[in-house]
Structure 1
């Protein structure tokens, strides 16, 4: 068992804006089949967190709901049918019960061991944004020497996608605000300013055309550049299925496994992938961490340091 006093958690009590968020007390959770109970060290904060709270992804959750999709920590208890993990292991993975908490459950099939010498903060960011970037690039399957356009390159997914694409021999151009210019260039990508004339600026940066598009923004940002890529099948979007379909592209197909998570962690350990954590907040400041992401202005990754 994992019996101990109530654990602090942060979640929402109704669908809506930040005013529905609050701190919750919950008893420590026992690991069920396919699960790991962990003491949380760090949780990643992602746009999906506020989208869930606003009800954009359905309203079927049991409320109150603890927020957060990805966490790192130390295994307390291994659930039935789980192999490859033992209590005391340092792990990271996708949560089954919210990440913004002192204690939670991970889905064992979407969890992996933290490599020695890599921080809990670094691996806490791999399950959502890094894994989404990895999945999207697999789906695009562009060979070395091709040119990839990333719409919204400065965010958590874009930052990793740019690094993985460059590692695969691709030329990367990406849209970002003026304030993120130096940051985008540090990723090895060519920065394209948003706004009027963006399609012309992309055409100038990629005179031979764009071979694939990773859309992390959707809507008008995608419509404005629709003319720059000829093969519409080479569009993968994480933003919304409707906009992707409008242009004959595909919504991202998630294919992450424990093995692909372990491979991403190994790249971090080898110094070949940097999640670029730019903002850190203690659990008590979870609302501020979410606001930083919900504003849409943060670059890199935001994390909550729980313990």
Structure 2
């Protein structure tokens, strides 16, 4: 099989396509032929060698999100069959033509949801839904989402709006119309953010930080209680300012719930697709933080 790998830590160019042995499903596992694989900032950090707790074995594979078709099942698997379209989370093997995953972790892909969109929703759906639960966001809240047009912000904004929550989203001006289309009030991020939020006439009661930088401090300055400020990116600032880290664990059940909403058209995720052969370019787009949409590799 072909897989995206790197032989040393470094810039996007260290990522290459290699031929590796085909994996085989073990007890309770399924073999999936991948049709689309999502990339996320975690993959960038792994490739850069910035996550020492992730032990790399060169040539190291990469990728945490996939959507594809079950090709074979291992002993004891009863919940899926060959030919089933599925999606889910994996660990450092998603950007490959074939992968094996525990059958208990796969989620059925609805027929009317494309493979690229399905793969692009995997991590953001679980992170966003878990963060909203951890922060106990309700329809009575005004939620400030930092990086509202990013993948996690996109899902969090839509889920919150579906629950009746008023949402303020921070983004560059080029993404403000997108935020409005999701039902959020957009404001520009940066030094003038506090004044821009106040100018909306809305008072945030809870905040989700998917941007880092000054987001936590800005949220508290706007009157949000520190224990209702959650971050998925800035553990250090959270510890210093009394905010919370809301990096929820993986949950096939939460993922399935968001996927069902996506199939109904109630949650939308724009995707920016790259052919598998352009894996290095795709990961560079994630690293740039300027990609318009979730970055997804597609396989032909």
TM-score range, shorter chain: over 0.9
Please list the CA deviations of residues 19-67 of structure 1 after superposition, one character each: whole Å capped at 9, or x if unmatched: 3211121111011344321111011121111011112222512222211
Q: Does 1:300 align with 2:293?
A: yes
Cα shift readout 1:108-162 (whole Å, capped 9, x = no counterpart): 3332111122211221122211211111111111211310000111111111111
- 2:226·2:242 contact (CA, 8 Å) conserved in 1? yes
Matched, 1:155 2:144: no
Q: Aligned residue for 1:55?
A: 49
1:249 is aligned to 2:249? no
* Equivalent position SS for 1:173: strand
Give the CA RMSD over aligned residues.
Answer: 1.7
Q: Give distance in 2, aligned partners of 1:296 and 1:192.
A: 18
2:223 pairs with one of 229, 232, 241: 229
**Mapped partners of 2:170, 2:42: distance in 1:** 21
Three-state SS of the structure 2 residue aligned to 1:99 is coil
Q: Which residue of 1 aligns with 2:174?
A: 179
Mapped partners of 1:253, 1:177: distance in 2: 24
Residue in 2 aligned with 1:240? 234
**1:205 lines up with 2:200 in the alignment:** yes
**Contact conserved, 1:73 with 1:120, CA < 8 A, in 2?**
yes
The answer as to whether partners of 2:28 and 2:102 remain within 8 angstroms in 1 is: yes
When residues 27 and 179 of structure 1 are mapped into structure 2, their CA distance, relative to the original with a 3 A threshold, is same
Q: How does 1:43-192 map to 2 (within 5 A)?
A: 43-58=37-52, 59-192=54-187
Aligned match of 1:218 in 212, 215, 221?
A: 212
Which ranges of structure 2 fall in alignment gaps of 5 or more residues? none
Q: Closer, same or farther in 2 for the Cα pair 1:88/1:46, shift >3 Å?
A: same
Render the CA deviation track for 1:74-129: whole Å, top value 9, x for unaligned. Answer: 11222344441111111001124511111112343332111122211221122211
CA contact (8 A) 2:125 2:254 kept: no
User: Following the alignment from structure 1 to structure 2, what is the Cα–Cα distance between the partners of residues 77 and 142?
Assistant: 41
TM-score using structure 2 length? 0.94
Structure 1: runs of 5+ lacking an equivalent: 1-6
> 1: distance between equivalents of 2:133 and 2:45?
25
Partner of residue 6, structure 2: 12
SS of match in other structure, 1:109: helix
Contact map agreement 2:169 2:187 (CA 8 A) in 1: yes
Matches of 1:244 and 1:34, distance apart in 2? 39
More displaced stretch, 74-83 vs 126-135: 74-83
| Cα separation, 2, equivalents of 1:223 and 1:98 | 36
Contact 2:226 2:244 in 1 (8 A): no
Shift in CA distance, 24/206, structure 1 to aligned 2, threshold 3 Å:
farther
1:83 and 1:255 mapped to 2: Cα distance? Answer: 25
Q: Deviations over 1:174-215 (max 9, x none)?
A: 1111121112211211111112221121122244x2111100
